[in-house]
Amino acid sequence: MTVYTIKDVSKMFQLPASTLRYYEDMAILTNVRRTAAGQRIYEEKHIHRLRTICCLKRTGLSISKLQMFFTYEEQETEHIDDILDLLIEQQQHIEKQLIQFQKDLEHVKRKLHYYSDIKTALTAKKMHPIWSDYREKQF
């Protein structure tokens, strides 16, 4: 059985050790054993759970909803509808974020194109472009 230290897991997930301890305190990272000296011992089950935690956190799921999710998971048969509802809600949230990110990306592309054209105009000693010409363009 492969085991990991808090330093190993911290590096693996690029999380501070304090965050790992916080996840334990919030009961979303559970059953972490300790050595006689009190050092945490993480196992593969913790690595799998941390992948889920990090994934859901990146999508904006709150700690309280993570707690609910893992509580539901403990009795998944009784809470399968709750699990599905929570995940469907999160999927919808992510899809809305993706739409907004796409709009934001297009805006950044327009700005990048606009300012690149300004730089070209400055170099060529020509007139600056007009922002209104870029507002609706797709790049």
Q: Are residues 64 and 85 in the same domain?
A: no
Cα distance between residue 56 and residue 6, in whole Å: 21
Residues 68-99 pLDDT 10s: 999 999 999 999 999 999 999 999 999 999 99
Question: Distance (Å, rounded) from C-alpha 109 to C-alpha 134?
Answer: 10
CB 53 within 8 A of CB 28: yes
- Identify the pLDDT of residue 19: 98
Q: What is the pLDDT of residue 53?
A: 98
Which residues of the chain have a pLDDT value below 50?
Answer: none
Regarding pTM above 0.95, the answer is: no
Q: Which domain holds residue 113?
A: 80-139
State whether 35 and 59 are in the same domain: yes
Rounded to an integer, what distance in angstroms lies between the CA atom of residue 49 and that of residue 33?
Answer: 15
Q: Say what the pLDDT of residue 5 is.
A: 97
CA angle at 120 for the pair 114 and 124, rounded to the nearest 5°: 140
- Are 52 and 95 members of one domain? no
* 87 lies in the same domain as 55: no
Residue that terminates a domain, selected from 58, 74, 90: 74
User: Can you give the pLDDT at residue 87?
Assistant: 98
For residues 3 and 68, state if they share a domain: yes
